[in-house]
Each structure stands twice: as C-alpha cells, then as structure tokens.
Amino acid sequence: MERPDETVYVCSRTGSLQDLPLDILFGIIGHLNPGDLLNLSRISKPFRDLLISPDSSFLWRDSRKNVPHLPGRPSFLSEPAYANLLFDYHCHNCLRAKVRVVYWEVGARYCSNCGETFFHNSDSIQVDLISFNENALFPIPDELISDIYNNSTALFRHKPTIEKLKKQWAGLVSDDQCKEAINEYRIWKDERIEFAQACKAWQSRCKDELTEKRRQMRKDKMEEVGRRLEKLGYGEDFKFSNRFYSVESHPLWKIPHIKQSKPWTDGAWKKMEGKILEVMDIPRTDRFFEIRKTAIKPRAQLLEDVLVSWRLSVGIVSPHTRDLLLIPEVRSLIDVPPNGKGSEAIPVTREDLEKLEPVFYRYLREWKQEQLETIAKLVSVSFELPLSTSLFSLAVSQYFLCSTCCDTIAFPDVLLHRCLHGQRFSYWDHKDTYESVINNLTYSSNMPTLECIVLADDLQNVIVAYGQDPRTATADEMDALDVRLECIPCQSDGVFDAFNWRQAWKHYRFTHNSYYHYRKPPSWRQVASTYLPLIKELESNLISNSNVEWEKRGWFSAHCPKMLNFDSWYCFTKYDKYAELISHLTTVHITHDPTGDDHYSNPWWVENYATMHYVSLIWQTPVSRQLQLKLAKGEAKIIDLLTGTVPVNASSL
C-alpha cells in the first residue's frame, strides 16, 4: 500500500506593522480616526515616538477629518491630548475605566469621586479669594460650571484652575498688570466656553446618531422576526401586536437572543423559536378576541333593538342585556367561531331574534323569582321572619343600601342597581371567551346576585319613632298614619322641619350619616297633632312641585334601557330637558319622529324628589333665603306657635 504524500508545513513570517514603508504606513494611518491613532501610539515605543513627535501633528490633523462634525482643536490642547480627551474613557486623575462624563470647559474627564475632589462650591471659593484680594473676584470663570451631583443646582468651579489664578494674581504688583491679566483671562475663558459649547453639541449629535442607529437595528431585527413568523403562520398576529407596542416595548424584545447584534443563524433561530411562539400566543388570542367581538357586535346590537319593544311591554324591571345574551338559545344565534371566521356565512335576522321572545319571558320569570328570593332572605334573616311574599310589603324592605357605592336604593330598583353589573369588566375575567366578549361589549361584568346589597338598618329607628313594630309594619300602613317626625338635633330657633317616615330616613342618610355632613345621630320626636292639617296641606304642594320638577328633568330614552349601553356611556343618562332627549334620539338612535314609545319616565323619581324635600313651619322672622324660597313654593308656612295656625299678618312677615 502506498503511503500518501506527506503534508509539508511551511512556517511563514508575519511582517511587523512598524516595518512597513512609511508611504504605506501613512496611507493606512490616513484612514484612522484620532482614537485609533491614540491606541496605535500605545502599542510600542517606536510608534509612540513616531506619533507623539511634533512633526507628526499632520497625521492627527488629518485623522480628525475622518470624524464627522468634530470641533476643531483648541489652542490649549495638543493633538494627542485632544484625542485623549475625546476618545479615551479613563479618568484623568485615577485612571478609572468607563468614565463618560467630560468637563469640556476645563478639558478633563473625571469620575464621580475625582469630580467631587477637583471641584469646589463657588461660595467657598469666593470667600477665599475675597480674603486674598477683592479684585480677584473678576477673573473667576463664572461659566466654568459643572454639576458634580445629579440634578444639583449648586455652582462648582475647577480647583486647579482657581489655584493657578491665585498664584498668577499673587505675582502682580501694579494695577496695569492686573487689568492686563484680567483681559487675558477673559479671552482664555471665552475660548474655553466656545470650545465647550461646540463639543457638547457634537457629543449630543453623536448620542442622537447612536440612538438612531440602535433604533434602526432593533427595527431591522423585528422586521426579520416578522418575516420568519410569517413563514410559521404568525404574520397576522405579529402585525396585530405592533398596533399596541413599539419596538422597545414589544414582549418579543425581552427575549435575550433577539437583542444580539450579529445576524441570526438557522441554529440560533431554532433555539429561540419556542420562546418566541410562546410569547406570540398572547397576541394571537387577543386578535381572535377582537375578530370575534367585531363579528358578534352587530348581532348583539340587533338583539338590543328587539329588546326595546319587549322591555316596554314587561316594564323597566327586567334582566340586563348581558344576562339575556348568555342564555344558551340566544348564544346559539349570536355566537361565532372562536377565530371569527365563517360568521358571514350564517346571517342572523331580526325575525330570528324575535322568535326568542318566549325564551325572554321564561328567563324574566326565573330571574325575578331568584332576585326576589334573595331580597326576601335578606329581610327574613335580619328580623327572623318566615319567608313569604308579604315581606316585600314591609316598610323595612322599601329601601336598601349598597355596600360598594353607598347608594340608597328603593325597591324594586334594587334589582337593577348598577353595581350588580358594574363597569368592572375585563377581557379575560372568564375562561369562556364569548362571555368575555359580551362583558366588553356591554361594559359590564357579573357579580354574585345582590352580594353588595344590605338592609337599611337605620330605617328601623324611624319606624319605632312612628310607634310601630318594624317586624310587622307595612309601607301602606306607615303612609296612612297621621304621624310626622321632628329631628331634635337639627331643630333651629324659630323653625322646625316635619318629616314623614320616608323623608325622615332620607334625612338621616344624607344629613347624619353622610361623609360630608357628619353629625351626631338623630333623636326623633313626633310632631304635635295640632300642626298636622297644615303640614298635610304643605305636603300636597310638595307633591305638586315634585311632578313639575319631574316634567322639567325626568326623561329616559327607551332605546337605552337602564344599565345597558353598547357605544356611548351617556345612553342611560336622565335628560333634564325634553329637547335634550329629542336631540339624543335623533342623533344617536336615528329616530326621526320620536313618539311616546321612544322615551319613558320612572315614577320613582317623583317619589324620590318628594322624599328628598320636606316641609317647614316657621314662627320667628326674619328667615333665611332657603326658607324664603320654600315659602314662595308653598312648602313652608309662618305659624303661631301657641295655636298652630297661620297668623293674619303672616303674608307681610
């Protein structure tokens, strides 16, 4: 067997850079910047001798031309010293590395520790110079200020410069010498200031260019990620995520391997592909959610149009649209595939949804029964009474409190309280994406049934003051009693206010138990029967005023049932003027000729106005402006305290 030819290894000699001919060496040096020349001068002594020589200044001068926008060399720095100031990142005193702060005015680069050592507070320096010679204040370079401490507003001056000034000033003997020295120093100072401004502008420009370069690098990296994700089927998801994130804030940019500056190899991509796809699952889910929401929204709005007429037939106390959308029969028509695709192939018409009215009636009965049972249990447990429908006729069950928003709520409005479907919605508050879509569309979420509702315990005190038992007294019986109450702590000289049981409870809630109007607990006293005929006359005026006030400000849009909204937050607003309601109907709901079916009023608002106001009896004058208004509206009277009648000259008081 023949042996293969032996490989011959030839040792070659690498030529030394310093052995190159000068013309070639100078040609190479001509392409370097001052920082490269500075490093080259530190390689060996021959190079140092060559480059530091004054005869080689043209090399440094030409190298500065390779740095765009670099300021010219100042007269107080040599070429190597200027290059060292610009491109060497060591402290000029302790040689600490990676020092980025340059004090251009004094031509030095100091670390934080050396900066505190070489700079002094201007006040202390001025005192020192004043003690030496008052005229020494003139040449102090006020503009040579550097902030040694972050965000510091104190003025600092360079200690070596000040010491040099002191020595120079000490050698002057005549006034002419002092004036000449001051003028020379001002010229020197102006040159340094001009140099510092130019260097700061160049430094700022370099930072901006570096920032833009890095931004472009990140952008190129993310574009490459997008191209690779396009091949993996995640292109649309990547574009969707770019709507919400900049390059720097994108979740993908937090993956360490993506930040590497060198181009990716296929192997490097394979290593981080799993992590990238894991991150992209979130925007894919978000995109499917938006697609599904966009497909469901017109169907849900069509259902709401159907529910407008249905709600008018069943009354205002009806389930929230969110609850109706979650009924299985309704969901089968409204819902679309998880990715939203194919929804156009299965159109849903108004007739299809109108066929679901029997389902709505069935759910209404179940919903009312469940809600009423919850309220009945609340009253039953509080007073240890058996469960029955008669509990809703009790006076204590006419008003409730919300532990979440502290609102006072009448029955049956408590079944529609906003906190039961509050605006605490989230995209992902349910594992069921359909339910999350519905929450997002209706600006609502589900809360355990009436969890926030509590019984108005303080109402019991009012019923007891009426001389009735809270366990048995009904609302009708309380309304029929010829009893009125007076709040003793609120009684003022010359006037007392008379409350029925509803007004008394509202007075307690908003006067004695209010965050802004805290007072001591009320003590109730029944008003003497002598005053009752006059009080009832005033109360009839109060009811009339309530109806007038309601006509002025009590309108709701029937197209925006209570606590329901798809597109605008103001749809369940009470409109103070009829013209505002008509404007809302014609602009938002495109109802050109509004009729009585397009709006409604809630009678409870009339009762609410009447219970928030009360009548007053006055026996001393003059009276306050508020009482004058009540007198003008017929809600107060001036009386004779002894007889309980209106005096003959009351109108002139």
Tracing tokens 């159907």 back to the chain, one arrives at: 306
Asked if residue 184 belongs to a domain, the reply is no
Query: What DSSP string runs through 34-62?
Result: HHHHHHHHTT-HHHHHHHHSGGGHHHHHH
- Reported as a single tens digit per residue, the pLDDT across 254-279 is 888 787 777 888 888 888 888 889 98
For residue 134, is pLDDT > 50? Answer: no
C-alpha separations of 311 from 93, 112, 349, 560 in Å: 84, 74, 19, 11
The answer to whether 189 and 144 have CB atoms below 8 angstroms apart is yes
- Is 359 in a helix, a strand, or coil? helix
- Residue partners of 349: CB distance under 8 A and separation at least 6: none
Domain boundary among 429, 457, 485: 457
Q: What pLDDT band is residue 374 in, cutting at 50, 70 and 90?
A: confident
Asked if residue 37 belongs to a domain, the reply is yes
Q: Which two tokens stand for residue 625?
A: 């402006």
User: In a 10 Å sphere around its CB, with 0-12 CB exposed, 13-18 middle and 19+ buried, how is residue 329 labelled?
Assistant: middle
562 shares a domain with 649: no
356 shares a domain with 490: no
- Residue partners of 506: CB distance under 8 A and separation at least 6: 408, 611, 612
364 shares a domain with 404: yes
596 shares a domain with 606: no
Structural domain count, the chain:
4
pTM as predicted: 0.58
The answer to whether 382 and 374 have CB atoms below 8 angstroms apart is no
45 shares a domain with 83: yes
The answer to whether 224 and 235 have CB atoms below 8 angstroms apart is no
For residue 631, is pLDDT > 60? Answer: yes
- Domain span at 560: 555-600
Peptide bond into 622 cis (omega under 30): yes
Q: Which two tokens stand for residue 212?
A: 């833009």
Asked if residue 311 belongs to a domain, the reply is yes
427 shares a domain with 339: yes
562 shares a domain with 528: no
621 shares a domain with 540: yes
Asked if residue 636 belongs to a domain, the reply is yes
537 shares a domain with 440: no
Q: Which two tokens stand for residue 436?
A: 């999350």
Note the residue count of the chain.
653
Asked if residue 641 belongs to a domain, the reply is yes
The span from the first CA to the last CA of the chain, in angstroms, equals 141
Of 546, 347, 380, 545, give the one whose Cα is nearest residue 455.
Answer: 380
Domain boundary among 435, 457, 479: 457
Of 380, 375, 371, give the one whose Cα is nearest residue 401.
Answer: 375
514 shares a domain with 432: no
Domain boundary among 32, 55, 88: 88
The greatest distance separating any two alpha carbons of the chain, rounded to the nearest whole angstrom, comes to 148
437 shares a domain with 327: yes
Q: Which two tokens stand for residue 495?
A: 């006037």
Q: Which of 371-380, 418-427, 451-460, 492-501 has the lowest mean pLDDT?
A: 418-427
590 shares a domain with 520: no
The vertex-442 CA angle with 428 and 362, nearest 5°, equals 105
d(CA 171, CA 133): 12
d(CA 394, CA 396): 5
Asked if residue 511 belongs to a domain, the reply is yes
Asked if residue 129 belongs to a domain, the reply is no
Average pLDDT over residues 520-538: 81
Average pLDDT over residues 24-38: 84
Asked if residue 300 belongs to a domain, the reply is yes
Alpha helices in 133-174 (DSSP H): 159-170
Residue 252: how many other CB atoms lie within 10 Å: 21
- Reported as a single tens digit per residue, the pLDDT across 349-366 is 888 888 888 999 999 898
Query: Between these two residues, 403 and 118, which has the higher pLDDT value?
Result: 118
